[in-house]
Amino acid sequence: MAEQAVSPMMQQYFEIKKQHPDEILFYRVGDFYEMFYDDALTASRELELTLTGKNCGKEERAPMCGVPFHSYETYVARLIAKGYKVAICEQMEDPALAKGLVKRDIIRVVTPGTVIESSMLAEDKNNYLCAIYLKKQRRSWRAGVCFADISTGEAYATELSAEKMGGAIITELCRYMPSEILINTAMLDLKDVTAYIKQHTSALVELREDACCKDSVIDAELTAQFGADWRRTCGFAEGGMVPYAVGMLLGYLKETQKHGIERIRAVQNYADAQYMRLSPVTRANLELTETMRGREKKGTLLWVLDKTETSMGKRLLRAWIEQPLVDSAAINARLDAVEALYQENVARGDLKEALGRVFDIERLTTRILYGSATPREVCALGDTCEALPQVRRIAEASTAPLLQKLAADIDPLNDILTRIRSAIGDDPPANLKDGGVIRAGYNAEVDELRDIMHGGKGFLSQMEARLREETGIPKLKIGFNKVFGYYIEVSRSYTGSVPDTFTRKQTLTTGERYITPELKDLENKILGANERLLVLEHQLFADLLSAISGEILRIQKTASAVAQLDVLASFAEVAVCNNYVKPTVDDSDVLDIAEGRHPVIEQMLKGSLFVPNDTTLDEADNRMLIITGPNMAGKSTYMRQNALIALMAQIGSFVPAASCRVGVVDAIFTRVGASDDLAAGQSTFMVEMTEVAEILEHATKNSLVILDEIGRGTSTFDGMSIARAVVEHICEKIGCKTLFATHYHELTELEQDVDGVKNYNIAVKKRGEDITFLRRIVAGPADDSYGIEVAKLAGLPSSVTRRAHEVLRQLEASAPGANASMQLDFETVHAYQNPEVPSEVVDKLKSVDVETLTPIEALNFLYELKKALAK
């Protein structure tokens, strides 16, 4: 069977698809976005769409599926979440006015890192696109790294230089957690980075060709974005790698976004040493923004501290938690601002009320710039402008320098508010196509067209009455038919009175029909009023968006200040609600915490008492605390709470303690818990040793290190030897503040052997075979491991724990150096562990009804039992 000729529309489709082979093409046809061939097969499978076929002039029908254009965002979001890219092909002209084939073109390629639609974004999380440019120079690596969130216009960049570049890049990726990563070909040599991205993130990786990174290409991209003097404007160092990363990112955005790239007006350069170093392991162990179990927000530090009112504040709070400061002056500026808000309950309440009326103007402005904002979103910007003066007044009233600075950065945007309120009605429709967006009185033609639409017949009646009076023809009337449109009909007896301005159109047996230029104009207005009104409203709305876009820098600066105020107010609110105190933060070597509490666990245990504990660490006599005690007693909680308190202080938050002094720490390292890395073929012990090796390599004397159960993944003597060697190395070679929890009681001897080591234990109260965890840390080593008692608490059968006690006594008695008098047989051990209880006591216990006893009766009964036991 001969193939038919391919239709012009499908020819157009094939040409466009050829330019975007790696994206799913959403091809606009009327009210649908259609997909064909492999794209259709993929989309129907991933989106569960019905697959149909289309005649394309070939022997087999082309697989086809489609989605409604007015709800396409939902489908695009699902494809993006699955790692696909989507090219949006739009009709570039009105099909009703097109001559021949409707012109179509790609208006945008949506990728995980270039999403701007609010329906596809988490309001409390930035969506970063990352570009990494790597270059090897002699024996060392240098890299430029850039992160940009085009939904907010933020862009950050830094230069890395390290022998082990992989770890440095992974640290930066953990700081921003991008959803899409652009790399150059040199990055393929860093296997540890590519393995980390694949195993621990869901980011889409895009390899950019070397041609995209040529000096001439990079210079052209940066010149187009920031001007010819871009190096000075952006503060890029001569010969640095950052311009390559930024230029690579801008080039990719121009390829995919077509327009709107001007949203990125500046790039903020930051140094790696500007923020506390937090490895991926540390972030996971401390559960800063997601839990280790379900990767959810509840149960994290972010969950505790988030009492923000705005989406911008929520994103900034997450960023501050991910990037604690190491500059004591900057930290104290935040703390002073929080203190001012903490002390002013009324002002803080008013501020939070005003912030509650502030919309997400960062992302709103981006959609305005792209021309995709809806009328209601523009009104939301106007509502925000109305709230800004109150926000500014409250911040201005404070004596805290940071709050005053932020107040100065808030522009009330009165001119934008006036423009929006004068142009947009009070209750605009959700979509521009629905009409009724422009406020009455804003544009004379809009008002006239609405009058015509709503009162066209009135206009005709007025004209008819006027023409009767002017011509003296009493029975002149205006009529309408589909052939001639509107006409003036005059009976035959009055045709002599018809003015010269009337043009005869049709002769009837009873008279004549005429038209006039005025009537024709009115006809055109009435018949085209609705269509013309929609076009005019679109144009006026586009003009409004363009005018607002011209003020983007003012809006962006204001949004940044509002977000910071929101986070500071959130810190103050949390401090009041949770009884936190202002920490003293300085450049000393001290971490001194009185009655510290775990910020998350105490909130999870609402209604239960959390036992606070003290901590004193420095780089001299208290460099390392060796903590012993049974499992489940609270060692890990204690160590984590100290790390979290130090981190909270360095993000500018008050802390859960009675008092606190924090000498700025440059990094927090943790080695907590046991896990296999099966994907990398590593056992628990191998993972543990790898993490310890990283700590020993990167920790400085200003770091805080938390080590839990080092060496337990191998034999006792091997593990003990490794643990002791690690303790000695940290104390003698690094000298950093360290909390070291262990079950190797032999390590407690190091207090006498190594300077700076102190023994502490978690207090336990023991009654026979039963123990109670007091959760209190006290000086000195633990007197026992209490392993069998903990096993009993965990639910091991009593027969098993009794037998374990018997074996333990035998092992202890037969150990080398044990006293010969301790050589007991198992029968003796059993009798020792199960002493006979007087029958009188047993009888009393069996007969009493505990639930009916009053407190006094219970005390008297206890006294009687004690007397019976003493007989």
Provide the residue count of the chain. 871
Angle at 582 between CA 576 and CA 583, to 5 degrees: 145
Tokens for 312, please give them. Answer: 């911008």
Say if residues 257 and 108 touch (Cβ distance below 8 Å).
yes
Q: What DSSP string describes 740-792? A: EE-S-GGGGGHHHHSTTEEEEEEEEEEETTEEEEEEEEEES--S---HHHHHH
In DSSP terms, 144 is beta-bridged to 133, 159
C-alpha–C-alpha distance, residues 474 and 491, integer Å: 10
Q: Which residue has the tokens 């009055």?
A: 494
Site of tokens 């394309």: 56
- Residues in a beta bridge with 584: 661
Extract the tokens encoding 628: 């012993």
Start-to-end Cα distance in the chain: 112
| Distance from the Cα of residue 736 to its chain's centroid | 32
Q: Is 583 annotated as a binding residue?
A: no
CB 50 within 8 A of CB 65: yes
- CA torsion 168-174-178-180 (nearest 10°) is 50
Does residue 281 contact residue 161 with C-beta atoms inside 8 Å?
no
Amino acid at 627: I
- The contacts of residue 115 (CB under 8 Å, 6+ apart) are 77, 80, 121, 127, 151, 179
779 is in an annotated binding site: no
The candidate with the shortest Cα–Cα distance to 801, out of 782, 823, 786, is 786
Q: Which two tokens stand for residue 607?
A: 């209604």
798 is in an annotated binding site: no
Q: Hunting for tokens 């006294």 — which residue is that?
A: 863
Would the annotation count 636 as a binding residue? yes
Contact 560, 552 (CB under 8 A): no
Find all residues with CB under 8 Å of 588, minimum gap 6, and list them.
661, 663
Say if residue 634 carries a ligand binding annotation: yes
In this structure, are strands 737-741 and 624-628 parallel, antiparallel, or unpaired?
parallel
Q: Which two tokens stand for residue 84?
A: 């696909």
Phi, psi angles (nearest 5°) of residue 775: 60, 15
Do residues 211 and 155 touch, judged by C-beta distance below 8 A? no
Sheet order of strands, 503-507 included: 477-481, 485-491, 511-515, 503-507
Q: How far is CA 692 from CA 279, 381, 442, 719, 721, in A?
A: 12, 51, 69, 13, 14
Q: What angle do CA 600, 604, 607 make, to 5 degrees?
A: 125
- Residues 6+ away with beta carbon under 8 Å from 506: 484, 487, 512, 513
Would the annotation count 631 as a binding residue? yes
Handedness of CA 161, 162, 163, 165 (dihedral sign): negative
**Residue 312 DSSP label:** H
The DSSP output letter for 131 is E
What's the CA gap between 338 and 569, in Å, rounded? Answer: 7
Tokens, residue 638: 């204690």
**Bridge partners of residue 758, in order along the sequence:** 625
φ/ψ region of 703 (left if φ > 0, alpha if ψ in -120 to 50, else beta) reads beta
Report the alpha-carbon distance of residue 600 to residue 656 in Å, rounded: 10
The encoded tokens of residue 483 equal 């052939």
Integer Cα distance of 478 and 515 in angstroms: 10
In eight-state DSSP terms, residue 731 is: I
Q: Please enumerate, by residue number, every residue annotated as part of a binding site.
A: 629-636
Binding-site annotation, residues for ATP: 629-636
